[in-house]
Structure 1
Amino acid sequence: MFIQVVAILLALGLLMFFAYRGYPVIVFAPIFTLLAVLISGLALMPSYTETYMVNAANYVKTYFPIFLLGAIFGKVMELNGAASSIAQTIVKGLGSKRAILSVILACGVLTYGGVSLFVVAFAVYPFASAIFREANVPKRLIPGTIALGAFTFTMDALPGTPQVQNIIPTPYFGTDAYAAPVVGIIGGVLVFAAGLYWLERRRKQAELAGEGYGTGHKNEPEVLTDQKYPNIWLAIVPLLLVLVFNYLLSRGFLTVNNWYSAELLKTFNIANVKTVSSTWALIIALVIGILAAICINVRRVHNQLAAGLTAAAMGALLAIFNTASEVGFGNVVKTLPGFKLIQNWILGLSSHPLISEAISVNILAGVTGSASGGLSIALEVMGKQYLASAQAAGISPELLHRIASMASGGMDTLPHNGAVITLLAITGLTHRQSYKDIFAITVIKTLAVFLLAVVLSLF
């Protein structure tokens, strides 16, 4: 049994190492999956075609519309200038004295409104650079600031956020994007406040040491002061439409739960509409947001639409197939003999389902370097067990949803995380210069999740 546990740990370690080195997960996830299968002495080809590929394909089938529409929405908001208008207004409105806070809020508004994380980083960075330079705040603090605004409380904590990390738990627990709103808001406020305190403390330390913005930086953006952006009130309309329609279609009078009869749904093998309703609601809300974003500046978007849609589609395909590869990996791993020992070890760390869930999701998100990948693997492998344990203990599935979603955004931002690598590339900085602050935000987020899980376990 020892060698079978080693097989899994070796495969996980190799996947983490190669992902950190920049090799494509799509290529290497199946390779290391089959390595673990081979060492475990199980059938190679059936494990690949009937377990790995089937589960990867199921993930694509379930979430591809969200990945694609989210990428298109973000790209259109970038093309029509709305994303830049929102970022510029917030940054200029708060001024250089609140440089860090203004960048966090700009990222938060865009992320919570449905703009993808990568588009947020591209849209906000030019304004962040300008205001940090004006305030003489070290440039090395920009990645940590953007990470706090885009990768934490608006990604998976605040209720209703249209990011995929908040949608993945819905079919496992029969919940929607607004699960456990009070817990999510408390968690989001904790992360926001603690993260802002850390970054402001780092700014003051740099100020006392006489360190300014710095010189000789790479990828310094040019902010065109004469660039015309849409009016701020017009720019936020698509974001508001996504949020409003997502709510109305999830819990309001337009709820998709009532659109089709149970008899009709059975013909599509849908036993419970709640397993798909959150996805349906977000798909429709994003389509409405995209149409509104195009209408803001039809001429400007039309001139770049073909190239923009191609870029968005390519980005969505890469993102979902990376995650689907990790999901396939996780589903094969759970069939291996050694996994039972690892699963018992994780479950044995705490008898309470919320704490155990937070641990398992954090570990897998950290290993895979992906919030959505680690969350999908954990719930695919142990979701039913957590739900059964929670029901036996009288714990609401909504709490399972919120803790799982927030935990996915904890240790996922280790150095090999794709979003971290991309963020550093956008800002022209290195891990050595800026990762310390990103890691601090990672630790704050992780501690907040466990604090919530522990407090909830006492009631």
Structure 2
Amino acid sequence: MLEILAIIVSLGLLMYFAYRGFPVIVFAPIFALLAVVLSGLPLMPSYTESFMTNAANYVKSFFPIFLLGAVFGKVMEMSGAAASIAHGIVRAIGSQRAILAVVLACAILTYGGVSLFVVAFAVYPFAVAIFREANIPKRLIPGTIALGAFTFTMDALPGTPQIQNIIPTNYFGTDAYAAPVVGIIGALMVFFGGMWWLERRRKQALVAGEGYGEGHINEPEIATDTKYINLWLALLPLVLVLVTNFTLSRTGLSVANWYDAAMLKESFKIANPATVVSSWSLIIALTVGILAAILINVKSVSNKFASGLTTAAAGALLAIFNTASEVGFGNVIKTLPGFKAIQESILGVSSHPLVSEAVAVNVLAGVTGSASGGMSIALEVMGKQYLEMANASGISPELLHRIASMASGGMDTLPHNGAVITLLAITGLTHRQSYKDIFAITIVKTVTVFILAFAVSIF
């Protein structure tokens, strides 16, 4: 019982400190080692050989994607492409469909590979303008951005280059296009469910006579004479990322065919090229996208290139080391005596690997407040077992990939989630004002994942 309590206490403390804004990089190892001490295991070997080794392995596997993704998003911002896309979509659809316009603007940018934080910054000024014009309460903006950027284009639609869709490839030997039918169905369910909720809230405000509101903070001033680059030119880098990624993942030009398998195994210890092809193709695709984003507006990018790269690199380092610390935490926890009982209880929720996986990923994403962190912990600890269960049941690893990816974007958006806190800071709103709608989107996403998992488990 003490061994189980040690794990529960360490998880609870990690969640509390993350919620309070303390750095996960610092406190993940502290609470992991607290659980080690309470479990009566050796302290220093657990830190250097378990925590640090697994954290370092995670950085080795995913740092290029974190870095290139951050740089791509920043270059899209500096070139004016992100703003042009957001402005073009918002203006094309109009204030009559303000919520839909903002959701689509966020979705296109996210699916094109722009990081969630850059999307929030890029779309917010136009969301304010169109919500103000339509007299829709400003408090609905965070939920609207969350639906477009944090849900179906982040992890459900096949091919999305967001890290939440790439992490499972290392565990299941899949690629970014895994289980496309299930992903598309899930994306549509989340989109329509989220739109129903937000439109319902808009109509309630209209009936109550509530408009955009006054006295808001962080209100952007949009100059009427702002010049935007051509919309189709702005879309080019996004299209190139998607096309290059698909070409190098699923066609005869796949990066899997570039090198001799025997050479990879002998010289680089890569037993199965499928486990790295998805990362390799995305690295190349993002590089192509970065070059294209620079070339479409060289003058604008060159004026702030050095500072922009510094900001992007700093953001990438913080993001990956936060997640790597959570991975290290999970790997220490799985070595503890009490974990076996917890693992059996999670697996015991359902004998079906998809349902059990959805529960594990959702719970850990919620606890850590991180989609990538929670999923990484779950798959590091139980991914191999889920794959064995799936193979024994004749279930495709692609389904494991898609359910894990979508589940990571479920309960991760609890109040202590970094993206939620940042989004509210950008918009100048509080949890009290706007979190209800973000949480509703979270519930829609979580319910969708379990519906899909149960539906697939029946057939």
TM bin, normalised by shorter chain, reads over 0.9
Counterpart Cα distance in 1 of 2:244 and 2:175: 14
User: What residue in structure 1 maps to residue 359 of structure 2?
Assistant: 359
User: What residue in structure 1 maps to residue 444 of structure 2?
Assistant: 444
Superposed counterparts of 1:250-399, under 5 Å: 250-266=249-265, 267-399=267-399
Counterpart Cα distance in 2 of 1:383 and 1:365: 15
SS of 1:315's partner is: helix
Counterpart Cα distance in 2 of 1:277 and 1:224: 45
- 2:408 maps to 1:405: no
SS of 2:108's partner is: helix
User: What residue in structure 1 maps to residue 53 of structure 2?
Assistant: 54
Counterpart Cα distance in 1 of 2:299 and 2:99: 34
User: What residue in structure 1 maps to residue 107 of structure 2?
Assistant: 108
Q: CA deviation at 1:399?
A: 0.4
Counterpart Cα distance in 2 of 1:227 and 1:305: 21
- 2:168 maps to 1:169: yes
Counterpart Cα distance in 1 of 2:335 and 2:405: 24
User: What residue in structure 2 maps to residue 200 of structure 1?
Assistant: 199
User: What residue in structure 2 maps to residue 136 of structure 1?
Assistant: 135
Counterpart Cα distance in 2 of 1:232 and 1:253: 32
Superposed counterparts of 1:92-103, under 5 Å: 92-103=91-102
Superposed counterparts of 1:411-450, under 5 Å: 411-450=411-450
SS of 1:401's partner is: helix
Counterpart Cα distance in 2 of 1:354 and 1:347: 10
Counterpart Cα distance in 1 of 2:435 and 2:224: 31
- 2:32 maps to 1:33: yes
Aligned residue identity for 1:399: L
- 2:67 maps to 1:68: yes
Q: CA deviation at 1:187?
A: 0.2
User: What residue in structure 2 maps to residue 235 of structure 1?
Assistant: 234
Counterpart Cα distance in 2 of 1:383 and 1:136: 48
Aligned residue identity for 2:56: A
Aligned length: 458
Aligned residue identity for 1:283: I
Q: Identity rate of aligned residues, in percent?
A: 77
User: What residue in structure 2 maps to residue 16 of structure 1?
Assistant: 15
* Segment drifting more, 155-164 vs 258-267: 258-267
Aligned residue identity for 1:378: A
What are the Cα deviations for residues 27-68 of structure 1, in whole angstroms up to 9, with x where unaligned? Answer: 111111110001000000000000000000000000000000
- Structure 2 regions of 5+ residues with no counterpart? none
Counterpart Cα distance in 1 of 2:170 and 2:455: 26
- 2:181 maps to 1:155: no
Counterpart Cα distance in 1 of 2:431 and 2:125: 20
Counterpart Cα distance in 2 of 1:59 and 1:160: 22
User: What residue in structure 2 maps to residue 245 of structure 1?
Assistant: 244
Aligned residue identity for 1:315: G
What are the Cα deviations for residues 361-389 of structure 1, in whole angstroms up to 9, with x where unaligned? Answer: 00000000000000000000000100000
Counterpart Cα distance in 1 of 2:264 and 2:326: 30
Counterpart Cα distance in 2 of 1:130 and 1:308: 26
Q: CA deviation at 1:453?
A: 0.3
What are the Cα deviations for residues 286-307 of structure 1, in whole angstroms up to 9, with x where unaligned? Answer: 0000000000110110010000
Q: CA deviation at 1:456?
A: 0.3
Q: CA deviation at 1:222?
A: 1.1
SS of 1:332's partner is: helix
SS of 2:223's partner is: coil
What are the Cα deviations for residues 209-228 of structure 1, in whole angstroms up to 9, with x where unaligned? Answer: 00000111110011122111
Counterpart Cα distance in 1 of 2:283 and 2:59: 14
Counterpart Cα distance in 2 of 1:221 and 1:18: 32
Counterpart Cα distance in 1 of 2:369 and 2:282: 25
Q: CA deviation at 1:284?
A: 0.0
Counterpart Cα distance in 2 of 1:173 and 1:83: 33
Aligned residue identity for 2:295: C
TM-score by length of 2: 0.99
Counterpart Cα distance in 2 of 1:301 and 1:411: 37
Counterpart Cα distance in 2 of 1:96 and 1:142: 14
SS of 1:191's partner is: helix
Counterpart Cα distance in 1 of 2:77 and 2:252: 32
Q: CA deviation at 1:204?
A: 0.2
User: What residue in structure 1 maps to residue 456 of structure 2?
Assistant: 456
What are the Cα deviations for residues 127-182 of structure 1, in whole angstroms up to 9, with x where unaligned? Answer: 00110000000000000000000000000000000000000000111100000000
Aligned residue identity for 2:3: Q
What are the Cα deviations for residues 265-300 of structure 1, in whole angstroms up to 9, with x where unaligned? Answer: 011000000010000000000000000000011011
4+ long deviations beyond 3 Å: none
TM-score by length of 1: 0.99
Aligned residue identity for 1:119: V
Aligned residue identity for 1:328: G
* Segment drifting more, 294-303 vs 223-232: 223-232
Counterpart Cα distance in 2 of 1:141 and 1:42: 49
User: What residue in structure 1 maps to residue 209 of structure 2?
Assistant: 210
Counterpart Cα distance in 2 of 1:341 and 1:223: 56
Counterpart Cα distance in 2 of 1:368 and 1:201: 31
SS of 1:236's partner is: helix
Cα root mean square deviation, aligned = 0.5
Q: CA deviation at 1:252?
A: 1.5
Q: CA deviation at 1:253?
A: 2.4
